[in-house]
C-alpha cells in the first residue's frame, strides 16, 4: 500500500508542519461511518485546529509551554467514508511508521473505533503496554446491529488482544448490566470520583497508551459529541487527571469523538483543543 | 366525555404500547398555552421518546433494568392549544382511569400546569398522599396577568387542596420575597444542598406523588426549558435524589418542561429521557 | 375595563413613542396560545422593532420616506398567555380607541387569531370595509381540536360577519378540499400569480383592512413562522403588491406570525420589518 | 436471510401502519455511511414523518387527497452503520417483497446510494423500466476515494445495468467535465428550465422509477442536505414536474438526502414531506 | 464635545428610565471592535435587558429586592464601530458625569476594553480606589497585533495607572508564562477556589471598582462570549462572591463580554442579567 | 513597513500555495471592525476555503475548469482588530506587490471597507480602470457615526478618486433618498433586472475591477452576512452576470461580507465559494 497523501491545513497551535525532528506527531482521522446515533466526528480534527489559536501556548496547571516541546501536526488522513477496513488499515499504517521513527503518534478523531489500529500499532512497538480509557461508555459490545468493527465494540477488540487486566476504564456510566458486572468483577472500572494519583499508581512505570473519548465529559461541558451521556466529569477534573500522568512513559494517545455540528456555541471544539494541549504537554514531560 | 384518541408513536425505550398488564403507564401531555416566557414544551414528550433509545435499559446507579419491569407508553393526549380547562379535564380523566386500573400514571410534559389534574386524580385515589416537587420556581402565585390556571400558579392550587404541610419543595431559587418568607416559615423549602436521605425521611411511609420540573437543573445542564434559572442542581445529584426514593409508595409522577427547540445540541432531551428512566425504575422498585 | 399599561421599548424605526398627533398607531400583540404547530410568535413584535434600525427610512419602491409621515409605536399590550378571550378584548379595546381618534391602528403579531378583534374594531368604525388577506392558509376552519377561537379559524369568524364577498384571499396554497372548493366557487381566491393592479382593482374605492400573515412568503424567504408552507411568494412580489395599494383608503392593518426563534439567521425579522415599513408608507400615502 | 424487524413510529400523514391492502408502501432507509461531505441523512425518514401532520391531506395542485388513496408506512429498516453491503441487501430484499405483492415500494432516505437496491428490485419486476432522476449532481463517478458503493457512484451503477439511454437526469449542475461531456453527448441531461410536459413525453408509456435527490432544490429552499449546490430549482417547479407525471405507470420511487440537523428552521423537513405527499398522489393517480 | 444622545429601550427590570434621583445609573456600551476572536458583544446590553424581566425582583441569596433600591437605566451610548478612541472618550465622559452627580456608574458591555475609561473616571472621583477583576484572562498584554487599546491589554493599562498592588484578579486560567509569573510574584492572583470572605478582606474599607468579565464563568454556564475558556467557575459561586461584597464602598462597576449570538439557548443572557441583578443589590446595600 | 507573515491554511480548491508562476493571487482579509450591524465577516475567508472542496473544479456555466488555470492562495493577512488604518495599509501593500508581479490580486473579505485599498492599488497599476460593484447597498455615505473609514462609506471614497462615471452599481435596493436621487441622475445604478450583456457593454474594453458584496444576493440565498437586505438577486443570475464578464480585462477583484456565524446551515459559505470559483474562471478567461 502506498502511503496516502495527507491533507494539510493550518496546524495545531505551535505545531511544526513536518514530522522530522518532532517527538510527537499529531494527525487527524476524519471518519465516522459506524457511529450509531449522531454522525459528524469526521469534522472533529479540523474544528480542533481551527480554534486552537484562541488558546495560549502556556498551561498554568502543568506550568509548561508548547514552545518548550517539539511536535508536528501532519494533517488529516483521507479516510474513505463507508469502508471501515480500509480506514483502519490507513490509520494503523501511519501510526506504525511514526513508531518506527521513535515518535509518539497522537490521533485526533473521528470516531472511537479508530483507537483500535492506533493501539494495535502501539502494541507492535511496546508489547507490554497498558491502556487507559477515559469514556462515558464501556464500548465492550461484541457487535452492533451485526457489525463487528464499531465504535461500540472497540474496547472489546482491544481487550481480546491484551486482556482486561491491562485496561483501566475511567468514567463509564452507561452500559449493559453484563458489562458492568464483568468490569466490577475485574476491578478495572473507576467512576469520576477517582483521583489522578490513583490512576498514576495503576499505571506505575508501565508504558501507557491513553485514549480520551471526549464524551467522558458531562454534556453540559461537551455537548458536541455523537452520544452525549449525562452525569459526566467537569473539565477541570479531566485536566487534572491528565496532568497527573506527566512523567509517565506515554507510547501513544488519541482524543476522539468531537462532533462540532452539534454544538453551535463552538465551546466543545475549544474544550477539545485544550484537552489536546494538555495531552501534548503531559506526554512530552520527559522530553 | 368520550375518551380522546391518543396519538401513538415510537414508545419510550423498552415500553410496551398497550396499557394492559403494565404497572406504570406513561403518557404525553403536549400543552404549553399558559407559558409566560418561552413556549414550546408541547414538543417535550415526542423529543423524550425520540432520543430514549440512545440510552441503555440498565441503570448502574439503581442497579436495575427497564427489562425487569412492566410499563406502557400509550402516546400523547390531543390537548387543544389555547383551552386550558379542556386540556386539564382530559389529563385528569386519563389519570383517573389509570388509577382505577391500579396502575401508576406518569405524565410527560408539557407545561407544569398539567401537574394540577395529575395530582387531583392521585388525591382521589390516595387521599393522604404527599407531594414532592423538584423545581427552580415556587409556582405559588395567585394568578399570572390575571390568569388563575397557569404554570406559575400550579403549586398554589395544589396547596389550596392539601395544605402546605404536605408539600416539599426542593430546589426553588426564584420567587417573590413573600413566597420565600412563607415557605421558610413552614420549613417545606429545601435548597439543592439537601440529601436524598433527608427527602426520603420527610416522605416516610406516606404515599407520594413526585413532580419534576426539569428547570430544577442548572441551565448549563438543561437549557431546553421555558424559564431557565441559573444556580441549579447538576444531573448526578438529581439522579441520586430520585434513586433515594426507590422503595417508597409512589402513586403518580410527572416530568415537565422540556422545550427542545431552545437546545440545538439535543442534550436537554437526553437528560430528560435519563430522568424518566430513573423515575420509572425508582417508582417500580416495589414491583 | 381599565386600559392596560403597554410595555414600551425601543420604538420602530423613526416612530414617535406617543399617540398624539400620529396618523397611524403601531402596537404589538404578543400572544400565541392557540398556535397548533410551533408557538413563539409572541416574540414577533419585539424582534421586528429590534432589527428595524438596520433599515433605511427611505423606500425606493414607493419613493417615500418614513420621515415624511407621522406615526407612533406605543409598545406591546400585556396579553395574558392562555386566555384568548381576555387577549382579544384587550386588542379590540385598544384598536377601538385608536379608531376613535381618527388614527389607523396597525397591529404587530402575534398569532393570526388577533386579526379578529382588529377587524371587529375596524368594522365598528367603517361598516362597509373589505378585507384583503395575504396568507398561505385559508384559516377558514370551523374549529381546531374543538377550539373555536384559533389561528386556524380566524378568517371564518370574519367571514361570518361580513360575508365571503368582501374578503379577498391572496396566496393560500394549503387547505382542505372543501375550503378550496368553496373559495373557487366564490372567486375570492388568488394565487401568487396575481398582480398588484388586480388586487387594487378589486378594492376599488372601498375602505380596506389589510392583514398580512407573513407565511404567505415562501419559507426560503421567511422560515421564522409557526406553520411554514412551501411554494410561497418572494419578497419583491409581496412588496410590489403592497405598494400597489398606496392611495387606497386604509382603515387598519396588521402583520402577523413572525416567530423569530425558528430563524437563527434573523433574516425573517428583517423581512418582517421591511414589510412593516412598506405597509406604513403605503397606508399613509394619502396623508 | 430473515426479514428484519422494522422500527415503527408515528406513520406519515394519513398512512396506514400495515402493508396489507395498500397500493403503495413507504419505508424509511436511515443510512448515511458513504456520505462524503456532511452525514446525517439517517435522520431524514423520522424527520419527514414528524412534520408530516402539519400538512393538509389535500393537494390543490393535483386536486387529489391522501384520503382518496390507500397506502402504508411500515417504518424504518434497521440498517447497520458502516456496512454498506448489508444495508443494500436489506433494502433490496424489502423492495422485492413489496413488488411481489404488486405494491409500489417507496423509500425515504437516507443517502442516495440506497436508490441502487431500490432500482435493482424494480428492474427485477419491470425489466423495461426507465429511471427519472431529479438531482443536483451526476452521481456518475466510478468510485469515491476508492469506494465503489457510494452516494457519488449510484447512478453509474444503475447506468451499468440499464444503459444511459434509459436514464433522464433533471437538474444536475455539478460534475466533472467528463461527466457533462458524456451526458450532453447522450442528450439525457436536462437543466432546471425543462417543463413537466417534456419530462412526461420522454417517459411515454414506459414503466418509470423516479428518484428524487432533494438537493435538486436550491439550497435556499432546502439547506438540510449533505452537499448543498447553489443554483437549483424552486419548490413550486419541482412540485409541477412531479404533478406532470400523474397517470404514468410508476413502479417505484424514493425521496433521498434530507439531513435535518443542518436546517435548524425545520423547513427542509416540511419541504421533504410535501414532496412525499405529491409523490404519493402522483404515483397513485391510476389507482 | 456635546453629550451624545443615548438610545433608550425597555429598561432593565425595575429600573427607572431617568437618572434623576437614582443612586446607581446603568448604561450600555455596545462596542466590540478590538475583539480578537469572536466579535458580537455589542449586542450584550440589549440582550441583558430583553431577558431581565424573566427574573424576579427579589434575590434570596442577598434577601434584598430591586424594589427596595433606586436605580436608573439610561440606555445605550452610540459608540462608533472601528474608532476605539472616540468610543472610550464617550464612555469616560458619561461615567464622569454620573460620578459628578454622586451616583454609581454601572456599564454593561460590550468588550472589556471599555473598563478602562470607566476605571479612569472612577479614579478621578476616588483616587484611592482598588480594582477587583473577575476574569478568565489576565488582559495584561502590552499590545495585541500592534494595537495598544485592546480587550487584551485593558488591565495592563489600568495597572500602569494604579500599580499592581491595587488590583485583585480572581479566576484567570489563561495567559502567558510571563503573565502568570508576574502575578504570582505579586500575589494578586486568586484561583476559583478563593472565598468571598477572602475577597472582602482584601478590599477592606477601601473604595472598590468591580469589573466582571463574564468569561470568568465556565463555558458550560456561559458559552455566549468571545473567548470561552474551559475550567471556570459556576454561577452559584460567582453569585456568592458578589454577595460577599454587599456593604463595601462600591464606586463603579461593569459586567462585560456577553456576546449573545454564540448562545442560541439564550441562557448566557439570563445568566448575565442575574449577575447584573446581584451587582445592583450588592452595590446598593448601603443605600 | 516589513511584509507581514500571512497565515496559511488549506488553500482554496485547486489553488497552489505559493505566488510564483500564478496568474491570480487569492488572499484573505479577515477584518470587520467598522461593521455597523452584525460583525463576523473576519471568519469569511476561512469558511470559504473550508467548504471549497465540496465543489467540483469544473464549471458547466463557463465550461472551464480550475485545473486549466494557474492561481495561488497565499493565506490570510494578520489584520489588527480595531485599527482600520493599519489594516488598510497592509491590504494595499500586498495588493501593490501582486500588481508589481503582473498578477491579479483577489481579496476575500472581510468587510467591504477593504475594497478601498484594493481599488487604490489597482488604480496605481491601471489608472484608467472602471469599477463594477455588485451590492445591496450604495455605501455612499460621507461618514457613519462620525467614522469616515467604514463599510458604509467605501464607495464614496472610491468615487472621490475616480468620479461617479467610472462606477457601475448593480443591485442596490437600500440607501437614503439623496443617494438614490444622485445615482439615478448619473445613470450608474442598475436594478437586478439588468442583463450580463448590458453590464459587459458598459465595461467595453476598459480594464475593470469587480467588487462583489455578497449581500447583493437575496437573504434567502445568502443569510450569512452582516446587513441582510430582502429583495435581492438569486444565485443563478449572479453567476450569469459574472460569466458574462469572461474575456474582459480584469485587473483585480474581491468577494466580501460572508459572515458565516449567522448561517448555521453553512450554505452561505458554499454560495460564496461557488462565486469565488466563477470569479477565478471568468477573470482568467484570457489566460
pLDDT single digits (tens) A73-91: 999 999 999 999 999 999 9
User: From residue B27, how far is each of B32, B106, B260, B267, C175 by CA, in Å?
Assistant: 16, 6, 18, 22, 30
Contact C176 D220 (CB under 8 A): no
Q: Which range has highest mean pLDDT (A3-7, A20-24, E32-36)?
A: A20-24
pLDDT single digits (tens) A105-122: 999 999 999 999 999 999
Residue in D120, D121, D116, D117 with CA at minimum distance from that of residue D103: D121
Q: Are A245 and A208 in contact (CB under 8 A)?
A: yes
Q: What is the mean pLDDT of residues E65-85?
A: 95
F9 part of a folded domain: no
pLDDT single digits (tens) B122-173: 999 999 999 999 999 999 888 888 888 888 889 999 999 999 999 999 999 9
**In the predicted model, is pLDDT for residue F158 greater than 80?**
yes
Torsion of CA C172, C173, C176, C180, to 10 degrees: 60
Cis peptide before C110 (omega within 30 of 0): yes
pLDDT of B212 reads 98
D53 part of a folded domain: yes
Q: What is the mean pLDDT of residues F27-41?
A: 94
**In the predicted model, is pLDDT for residue F144 greater than 50?**
yes
CB proximity under 8 Å: B 257-286 to C? 261-262
Residue in A177, A89, A175, A195 with CA at minimum distance from that of residue A135: A175
Q: What is the mean pLDDT of chain E?
A: 94
Nearest CA in chain D to A145: D80
**In the predicted model, is pLDDT for residue E56 greater than 50?**
yes
Nearest CA in chain C to B5: C145
**In the predicted model, is pLDDT for residue D273 greater than 50?**
yes
CA–CA distance, A44 with A41 (Å, rounded to integer): 5
pLDDT single digits (tens) B58-102: 999 999 999 999 999 999 999 999 999 999 999 999 999 999 999
Give the burial class of B205: count Cβ atoms within 10 A of its Cβ; 0-12 exposed, 13-18 middle, 19 or more buried: exposed
pLDDT of C3 reads 66
- For the range F139-146, what are the long-range contacts, defined as Cβ-Cβ under 8 Å and sequence gap of 24 or more? F139/F112, F139/F213, F140/F175, F140/F179, F140/F182, F140/F183, F141/F176, F141/F179, F144/E80, F144/E81, F144/F34, F144/F36, F145/E78, F145/E79, F145/E80, F145/E81, F145/F36, F146/E80, F146/E83, F146/E86
Nearest CA in chain E to A237: E231
Residue in E9, E43, E109 with CA at minimum distance from that of residue C49: E9
CA–CA distance, C87 with C29 (Å, rounded to integer): 9
Q: Are F151 and F36 in contact (CB under 8 A)?
A: yes
CA–CA distance, E269 with E47 (Å, rounded to integer): 6
Any chains having at least 3 CB pairs less than 8 A from chain B are: A, C, D, E
Boundaries of domain holding C34: 24-283
Number of H helices, E strands in chain A: 8, 10
**In the predicted model, is pLDDT for residue B210 greater than 60?**
yes
Stretch among B79-83, D88-92, F207-211 having the lowest mean pLDDT: B79-83
Name the stretches of chain C with pLDDT < 70: 1-3
pLDDT over 70, % of chain A: 99
Cis peptide before D204 (omega within 30 of 0): no
- Running DSSP on this structure, what letter comes out for residue B256? E
Nearest CA in chain A to F43: A50
Q: Are B78 and B12 in contact (CB under 8 A)?
A: no
Domains in chain A: how many in total? 1
Q: Is B8 on the interface with D (CB under 8 A)?
A: yes
C-alpha cell belonging to residue A247: 512523567
B6 part of a folded domain: no
pLDDT single digits (tens) D207-254: 999 999 999 999 999 999 999 999 999 999 999 999 999 999 999 999
CB–CB contacts below 8 A, B to C = 73
pLDDT over 90, % of chain F: 86
Backbone dihedral angles phi then psi of residue F114, each to the nearest 5 degrees: -70, -10
D184: domain CATH number?
3.40.800.10
Stated length of chain C: 287
pLDDT single digits (tens) A228-280: 999 999 999 999 999 999 999 999 999 999 999 999 999 999 999 999 999 99
- Higher local confidence (pLDDT), A6 or C207: C207
Q: Where are the beta strands (DSSP E) in F66-103?
A: 71-76
**In the predicted model, is pLDDT for residue B287 greater than 90?**
no
Q: Are E150 and E141 in contact (CB under 8 A)?
A: yes
CB proximity under 8 Å: C 174-233 to F? 218, 220-221
Sign of the torsion angle spanned by Cα atoms A50, A55, A56, A62: negative
pLDDT single digits (tens) B212-263: 999 999 999 999 999 999 999 999 999 999 999 999 999 999 999 999 999 9
Residue in C213, C196, C172, C173 with CA at minimum distance from that of residue C247: C196
Q: Which of E42, E77, E81, E84 would you mutate first to test chain F, the one with the most F CBs within 10 A?
A: E81
| Residues of chain F positioned with their CB less than 8 A from the CB of D264 | 264-265
Question: Under DSSP, is residue C8 helix (H, G, I), strand (E, B) or coil?
Answer: coil
F16 part of a folded domain: no
Residue B226 parent element (H or E):
none
Contact D270 C228 (CB under 8 A): yes
- Running DSSP on this structure, what letter comes out for residue F17? S
A7 part of a folded domain: no
CA–CA distance, D13 with C37 (Å, rounded to integer): 14
**In the predicted model, is pLDDT for residue F167 greater than 50?**
yes
| Residues of chain E positioned with their CB less than 8 A from the CB of C46 | 50
CA–CA distance, B214 with B258 (Å, rounded to integer): 7
**In the predicted model, is pLDDT for residue A173 greater than 70?**
yes
Q: What is the mean pLDDT of residues D132-153?
A: 89
CA–CA distance, F209 with F130 (Å, rounded to integer): 6
E150 part of a folded domain: yes
A8 part of a folded domain: no
F204 part of a folded domain: yes
Rounded to the nearest angstrom, the minimum Cα separation between B164 and chain A is 33
Phi-psi region of B209 (alpha: psi -120 to 50; beta: other; left: phi over 0): beta
Contact F180 C218 (CB under 8 A): no
Residue D136 bridge partners (DSSP): none
**In the predicted model, is pLDDT for residue A2 greater than 70?**
no
Residue D44 parent element (H or E):
helix D44-52
| Residues of chain E positioned with their CB less than 8 A from the CB of A270 | 219, 228-230
- Structure confidence at residue F91 as a pLDDT band (50, 70, 90): very high
Nearest CA in chain D to F63: D177
pLDDT of B2 reads 56
pLDDT of C2 reads 55
| Residues of chain D positioned with their CB less than 8 A from the CB of C227 | 54
- Running DSSP on this structure, what letter comes out for residue C114? G
| Residues of chain F positioned with their CB less than 8 A from the CB of E146 | 80, 83, 86
Rounded to the nearest angstrom, the minimum Cα separation between E77 and chain F is 11
Q: What is the mean pLDDT of residues E94-120?
A: 97
pLDDT of A152 reads 85
Strands C58-59 and C64-65: antiparallel
Nearest CA in chain A to B65: A177
The pTM (predicted TM-score) of the whole model is 0.96
pLDDT of B142 reads 85
Amino acid at each position: 500500500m502506498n502511503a496516502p497523501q495527507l491533507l494539510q491545513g493550518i496546524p495545531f497551535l505551535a505545531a511544526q508542519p513536518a514530522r522530522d525532528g518532532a517527538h510527537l506527531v499529531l494527525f487527524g482521522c476524519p471518519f465516522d461511518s459506524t457511529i450509531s446515533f449522531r454522525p459528524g466526528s469526521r469534522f472533529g480534527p479540523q474544528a480542533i485546529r481551527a480554534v486552537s489559536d484562541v488558546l495560549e501556548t502556556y498551561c498554568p496547571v502543568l506550568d509548561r509551554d508548547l514552545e518548550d516541546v517539539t511536535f508536528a501536526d501532519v494533517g488529516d488522513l483521507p479516510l474513505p467514508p463507508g469502508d471501515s477496513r480500509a480506514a483502519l488499515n490507513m490509520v494503523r499504517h501511519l501510526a506504525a511508521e511514526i513508531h518506527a521513527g521513535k515518535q509518539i503518534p497522537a490521533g485526533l478523531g473521528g470516531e472511537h473505533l479508530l483507537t483500535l489500529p492506533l493501539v494495535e500499532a502501539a502494541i507492535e512497538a511496546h508489547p507490554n503496554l497498558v491502556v487507559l480509557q477515559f469514556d462515558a461508555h464501556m464500548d465492550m459490545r461484541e457487535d452492533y446491529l451485526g457489525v463487528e468493527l464499531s465504535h461500540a465494540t472497540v474496547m472489546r477488540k482491544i481487550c481480546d488482544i491484551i486482556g482486561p487486566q491491562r485496561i483501566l476504564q475511567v468514567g463509564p456510566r452507561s452500559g449493559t448490566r453484563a458489562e458492568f458486572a464483568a468490569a466490577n468483577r475485574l476491578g478495572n472500572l473507576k467512576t469520576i470520583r477517582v483521583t489522578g494519583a490513583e490512576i498514576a499508581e495503576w499505571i506505575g512505570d508501565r508504558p501507557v497508551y491513553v485514549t480520551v473519548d471526549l464524551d467522558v465529559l458531562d454534556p453540559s461541558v461537551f455537548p458536541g459529541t455523537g452520544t452525549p451521556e449525562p452525569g459526566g466529569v467537569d473539565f477541570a477534573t479531566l485536566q487534572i487527571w491528565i496532568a497527573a500522568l506527566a512523567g509517565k512513559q506515554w507510547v501513544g494517545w488519541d482524543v476522539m469523538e468531537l462532533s462540532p455540528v452539534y454544538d453551535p456555541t463552538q465551546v466543545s471544539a475549544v474544550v477539545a483543543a485544550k484537552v489536546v494541549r494538555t495531552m501534548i504537554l503531559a506526554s512530552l514531560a520527559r522530553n
